[in-house]
């Protein structure tokens, strides 16, 4: 099975409403967050996935708040002065500096195997300032995570708005009966008339960005299919492709409103790859707004020793999402489904699939300190309980004690994992 590398929310997990187009994030802005519960929930997800037989690793949180970013924005003084002035004069910048969004590792990179070599291109995340802060430390972290292995970790393509890259959330490797094809999904491209672009929300991934990533990975053009997100999907809250599609191996679960010219895209995939098992869910069975709310398509789809398992958010345990799952089981698209509580992540717009990066390698390639088993999960839970606050409001981000608490937590974690804080 593929290695599933999960992210972990950090001690500054909060609801800053920083992502235009992410309806959950904008709707939760200002709500008091629960960092300890957020991290515990994600560790629970890791335990479920590991229990299904998948090799599971994790990436530690990045250092937050990023006081260096705030200093670069012109705030001066010691840390307390920088945080206090930023809170008074530019609260959104402070929220960006403290964002724990790096937990969504599906955004951190795009992965491919070329001539037997696994290559990882780190995402530039150029569309959102709070995410763009992740690219440099993530590059360092991933290089440390795979140091001494044959995995090649490649720097992001330039962080230019026209080269926006959101990582594996907009990438899927379809493996059919005759071959494979990398599906790269973009929301905007040069030459598209304004009337055919989203009207309410920004389209983050660009076709030029996808093409640049494909070149950086060394993908042959014949093995790449570029498709475009439907503008109605973006305006409906599908800010990444993985909000309306999930796949693994020869299986693809997708909403009918996910792509422009979707039928033609699957005809081309059939020509290139051969037989694929595709389940298209119609708006009548799962309205777009409900698909975005329950995040059915942001589940993890896993091939296990006991068959295909869908690891879905608990929001899919009832209503339209649950009915679709029952149909998928009746059609033998999946053998069973497990629902998991990741509410704190969901409130910021991240479900079970957002929280993992899938890599086509064994866990032995990963630094030993990042490999998880039951004992190490238990240690992490105790670490979270020692260091994370039960509640965190946006005004708490200016508390210099929080910065010190976060630094102490990450320093202890770095000693335990052997991976330095980037």
Catalytic site residues? 166, 240, 354
Distance CA 37, CA 48 (A): 16
- HSE-up of 97 (CA within 13 Å, CB side)? 26
Can you read off the two tokens belonging to residue 280?
């298209």
DSSP 403: H
- HSE-up of 50 (CA within 13 Å, CB side)? 19
C-beta atoms surrounding 295 within 10 Å? 27
Query: For residue 275, what are the β-bridge partners?
Result: none
Beta carbons within 8 Å of 76's beta carbon, 6+ residues apart: 82, 85
Distance CA 73, CA 92 (A): 12
**Residue keyed to tokens 């509640």:** 391
Distance of CA 358 to the CA centre of its chain: 10
C-beta atoms surrounding 391 within 10 Å? 11
Cβ–Cβ < 8 Å for 311, 48? yes
């Amino acid at each position: 099975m593929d290695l599933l590398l999960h992210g972990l929310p950090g001690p500054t997990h909060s609801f800053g409403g920083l992502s235009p187009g992410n309806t959950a994030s904008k709707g939760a802005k200002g709500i008091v967050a629960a960092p300890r519960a957020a991290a515990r929930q994600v560790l629970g997800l890791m335990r479920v996935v590991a229990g299904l037989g998948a090799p599971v690793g994790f990436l530690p949180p990045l250092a937050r708040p990023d006081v260096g970013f705030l200093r670069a924005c012109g705030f001066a003084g010691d840390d307390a002065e920088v945080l206090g002035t930023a809170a008074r004069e530019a609260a959104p910048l402070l929220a960006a500096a403290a964002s724990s969004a790096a937990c969504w590792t599906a955004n951190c990179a795009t992965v491919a195997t070329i001539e037997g070599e696994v290559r990882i291109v780190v995402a530039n995340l150029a569309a959102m300032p709070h995410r763009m802060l992740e690219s440099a430390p993530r590059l360092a972290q991933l290089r440390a995570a795979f140091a001494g292995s044959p995995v090649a970790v490649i720097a992001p393509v330039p962080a230019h708005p026209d080269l926006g890259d959101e990582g594996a959330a907009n990438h899927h490797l379809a493996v059919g009966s005759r071959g494979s094809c990398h599906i790269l999904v973009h929301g905007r491209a040069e030459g598209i008339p304004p009337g055919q672009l989203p009207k309410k929300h920004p389209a983050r991934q660009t076709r030029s960005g996808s093409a640049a990533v494909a070149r950086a990975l060394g993908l042959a053009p014949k093995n790449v299919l570029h498709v475009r997100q439907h503008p109605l999907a973006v305006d409906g809250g599908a800010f990444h492709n993985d909000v309306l599609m999930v796949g693994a191996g020869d299986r693809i679960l997708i909403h009918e409103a996910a792509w422009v010219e979707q039928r033609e895209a699957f005809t081309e995939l059939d020509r290139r790859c051969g037989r694929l098992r595709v389940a298209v869910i119609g708006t009548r069975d799962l309205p777009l707004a409900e698909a975005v709310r329950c995040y059915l398509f942001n589940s993890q789809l896993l091939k296990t020793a006991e068959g295909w398992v869908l690891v879905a958010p608990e929001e899919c345990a009832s209503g339209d999402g649950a009915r679709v799952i029952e149909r998928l089981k009746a059609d033998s698209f999946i053998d069973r489904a497990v629902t998991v509580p990741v509410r704190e992540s969901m409130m910021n717009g991240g479900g079970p699939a957002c929280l993992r990066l899938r890599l086509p390698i064994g866990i032995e390639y990963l630094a030993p300190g990042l490999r998880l088993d039951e004992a190490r999960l238990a240690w992490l839970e105790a670490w979270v309980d020692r260091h994370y606050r039960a509640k965190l409001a946006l005004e708490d981000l200016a508390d210099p004690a929080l910065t010190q608490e976060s630094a102490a937590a990450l320093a202890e974690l770095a000693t335990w994992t052997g991976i330095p804080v980037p």
